[in-house]
């Protein structure tokens, strides 16, 4: 029998989610897996759990929000022998889960997963810190990690919006920086830097319509807006999908991006969590060592390599 570890955040989700998590061992057993349940007890716990899993583990499922998946990938990358990964979304916004094609029903998601396909994914690195879908710095972006848990539990996605509205009274932060991309160097003053590998951010779909998760590329956007009025105008246009050629934004698709700030900037937001640092210089690259078990629903849209893994790899699931 194959072995599957389920790493889950017992604080995430609604009462029904917690009940559904309890049914996962029996579902996995029917599908030929011995299940090991691994609850997290605090921040970064998933990193340690996955790093220490036995080498004969066939599959590890990260059951939680985008931050739990990030911790899982971080722990897996630190292993000598990488483990096939999967994600079951249990959280408030679930950008990655929605991008992958999951529903709001955990049992259906589990069935989609176990009948899914294995794909090699791009994992972006910020100074060697892994992220799955977004790293950003600028005004107001910290609401993803500083919104009180009670507010998120009571209002869901609206909790983030309520918290963001309280921050709008603050001035727009501006950063003097120099960046290198695709053989050119640019200096200027910017309010935001976004590096992403996703078509969905903050609950908004189709930020990009042509993102591929295996093309060895990520998207970079730097915003030159200096006022709240400019930011609101740009934000309204981004929702309509005009991001690539929009006034006030500098856009690139690349696999190597370096940025140096004149002063140490605030914490980055990495997959919805805080990434604190004391550096002025940041390098973005891509790691290709992670294989992910995914629902088949959005594979054609999200991947450029549509060849199925060999029978040997499929059986290795």
Q: What proportion of the chain, given as a percentage, has pLDDT over 70?
A: 85
Token pair for residue 72? Answer: 């899982």
pLDDT of residue 150: 52
Structure confidence at residue 315 as a pLDDT band (50, 70, 90) = very low
Tokens read off for 120? 């090699």
Mean pLDDT of 254-279: 94
146 phi/psi in degrees, rounded to 5: -105, 5
Is the confidence at residue 8, as pLDDT, over 50?
A: yes
Q: Which residues, in sequence order, are bridge partners of residue 196?
A: 134, 219
Domain boundaries, the chain: 2-115, 129-286
Fold: same for 2-115 and 129-286: no
User: Using 50, 70 and 90 to split pLDDT, how confident is the model at 166?
Assistant: low
In this predicted structure, the answer to whether residue 168 has a pLDDT above a threshold of 60 is no
Q: Which CATH class is domain 129-286?
A: mainly beta
The arithmetic mean of pLDDT across residues 25-54, rounded, is: 95
Residue ranges in 23-148 assigned as alpha helix (H): 24-30, 45-51, 66-77, 95-100, 106-114, 143-146
The 10s digit of each residue's pLDDT in 80-96 is 999 999 999 987 778 99
For 226-254, write each residue's pLDDT tens digit: 888 888 788 777 766 667 778 899 999 99
Query: Where does residue 151 rank: exposed (0-12), middle (13-18), buried (19+ CB within 10 A)?
Result: middle
When the pLDDT of each residue in the chain is averaged and rounded to a whole number, the result is 86
CATH of domain 2-115: 3.40.50.10330
More confident residue, 72 or 201: 72
């Amino acid at each position: 029998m194959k072995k599957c570890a389920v790493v889950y955040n017992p604080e995430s989700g609604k009462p029904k989610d917690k009940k559904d998590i309890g049914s996962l061992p029996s579902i996995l057993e029917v599908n030929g897996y011995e299940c090991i349940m691994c609850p997290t007890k605090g921040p970064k716990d998933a990193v340690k759990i996955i790093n220490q899993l036995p080498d004969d583990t066939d599959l590890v499922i990260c059951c939680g929000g985008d931050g739990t998946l990030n911790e899982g990938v971080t722990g897996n990358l630190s292993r000598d022998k990488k483990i096939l990964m999967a994600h079951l979304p249990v959280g408030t916004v679930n950008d990655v889960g929605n991008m992958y094609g999951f529903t709001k029903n955990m049992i259906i998601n589990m069935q989609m997963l176990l009948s899914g396909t294995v794909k090699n994914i791009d994992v972006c690195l910020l100074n060697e810190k892994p992220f799955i879908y977004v790293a950003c710095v600028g005004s107001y972006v910290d609401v993803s990690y500083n919104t009180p848990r009670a507010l998120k539990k009571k209002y869901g996605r609206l909790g983030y919006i309520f918290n963001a509205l309280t921050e709008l009274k603050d001035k727009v932060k501006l950063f003097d920086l120099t960046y290198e991309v695709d053989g050119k160097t640019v200096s200027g003053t910017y309010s935001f830097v976004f590096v992403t590998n996703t078509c969905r951010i903050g609950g908004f779909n189709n930020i990009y319509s042509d993102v591929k998760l295996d093309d060895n590329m990520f998207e970079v956007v730097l915003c030159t807006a200096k006022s709240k009025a400019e930011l609101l105008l740009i934000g309204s246009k981004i929702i309509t999908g005009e991001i690539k050629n929009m006034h006030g934004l500098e856009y690139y698709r690349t696999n190597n991006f370096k940025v140096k700030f004149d002063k140490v900037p605030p914490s980055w937001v990495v997959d919805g969590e805080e990434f604190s640092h004391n550096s002025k210089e940041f390098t973005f690259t891509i790691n290709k060592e992670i294989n992910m078990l995914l629902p088949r629903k959005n594979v054609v849209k999200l991947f450029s390599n549509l060849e199925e893994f060999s029978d040997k790899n499929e059986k290795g699931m």
